[in-house]
Structure 1
Amino acid sequence: MNTIDYIYRFDADNPSAKPVPPDAEAARRVLEDGNRMFSHWMESCRTRTPSPGEPRYIVSCNGLEMGMPRTYGEMPRQSPFAVVVGCSDARVPTEMLFGQGFNDLFVIRVAGNVMGDVCQASVDYALVNLSESIRVVVVLGHSGCGAVTAAVDSYLRPLRFWSKSVSPVLRSLTQSIFVAVREAANGFKEVWGPNARDEPGYREALIESAVCINAAQTAFGLRQEVETSGKWEVEVLYGVHNIRNHQVCMPVDPTASRSDENVHLVAAPSNPREFHALAIQMAQILKRDGAPRSRPTPSHDGAEPNGVPIAEGTA
């Protein structure tokens, strides 16, 4: 049978818990290395090239992580090394894409990886009650995000945004992403020119850029919260899962082939000016041959967009 396995392995002879990474930098490397393994596996599946002999794609799990305490009736201790705030999208299996097993990640998933009171409280719970093991907080966006797509479509054509078919709570979720969309749009005006929105592929490019800026925006807010709580040893990172090549990157080139060098989590912005710099960077990445070549024209006029019906799709 020609199978390409991604294995969660339990070693019965060594059921002890894996050591927690010693610091934030080590935790970042563990997550990035795990994603490299996952993307290798996905590439093997795509090209139908199984690894010879012993499978390479193995996530080590142990008895304590799997809820198998040493003494009957004893509760296993929760000890994740990372808090991950990600999207609810079913195509983004958080533990799997970071190459992690049980009890490694404290995962919070909400459409559009948008922060709200309950989401923030979940992060605070982890920082207060699991502080001995938590090393990093990660915001994980993903390409093709349905929530960001809805925000972009509403930005471009707001008419259906006010339709009775859109519930107030869904409207509130979309509105929380509008600032990221507007920042992305300003970046395209500067790089592509004042008529950027009339160019072919503009909507798709705006979605790609807004996904990155939305993740940065969430990470920025979380960094402020972490610093306010005095958790100086905890670092806030962010990245975007590029569903096309299955790698977590920042910035994201949607046409990039899989490469170990692509995988990169970055520190959360510390200054709002970094959002604009990211918007410019994404607009430059997304500028293809045949794309607009007009002279960049900065746009800070505050004019309102006139915006597409809310897209129906995944989170």
Structure 2
Amino acid sequence: MSYDLYFKPRNGFFSEEHFHAYFGNRPNYKYEGAQAWYGNEDTGVYFVFELQTEQAPEENDDEPIEPFPVALNINYLRPSYFIFEVEPEVTAFVKNFDLLVSDPQVEGMGDGEYNAEKLLSGWNYGNEFGYTSILKDENNRSGVSHLPAAQLQSAWKWNWSRSEVQTRAGESKFVPRIMFMNLGGSTVTAAVWPDGIPVVVTRVDYLCIPRKELAPTRFFRKKEDTTFVEWDKALPILLKHGTQNEDGSISLNYMTPPSDVVKFVQSLPAENRAVAGLSADKVLDREIYERSIA
């Protein structure tokens, strides 16, 4: 199930050269044949623009069909923040080429002028319908992960701006993205804090700490591992050695871990819960999930 939107120029024509020149200069796109795939490694958001090389005729209609040379496809059954990243890309594309649209979706914008608000509402309507259509069958709920929409959107905002934060922080500090994980049967957010190094980090459920240089010693030998610590347990030491930024994130202000950071990291117990990473696109909005199965 997916949202499909079609584009044509108001005047003139749209060529393959236009398609490749435009998407070839925009970040996060790559080509696969006649498709320009958007994929953001930080946020996990993806969608595709496709150049329509052929226009299928309508049945029992001798009138020529006015072609819509480009199509957009966005999957349903996705976290609601997907459309927040899609919309600016679509809006920029439409403005660049002065495009008209054909939107066959229920609650969509119909044929004619593009409307960004209708893109948002149309996809959201279809996305919730997708949740209901698929998740009403109990067999399709196995392994489904979900978190509150506000938490998902907060994680998306951080990940979407992560590269800019990293640029401002420079090479001396690491800015981890927010990951989604299944930790002991629970869906959680996590950020990596390797060996207590200087980072810029925002609130998550857990800090994921790979221990190599600071691996605990067992039987006179260091044994590398990865452990997890709740945010609230780590917060005092983060604030002691860091500055809280306007967005609530914390920037650690040392070059090498101080002795109490070393002690804190080394003192954490080994992780014995089952741990598995979760793809961002598979962690759904809890509120829509709960409405869909009610």
Query: TM class by shorter-chain length?
Result: under 0.3
Bigger Rg, which one: 2
Q: TM-score, normalised by structure 2?
A: 0.25
Higher-strand-fraction structure: 2
Higher-helix-fraction structure: 1
Using CA pairs under 8 Å that are at least 6 residues apart, name the structure with larger relative contact order, 1 or 2. Answer: 1
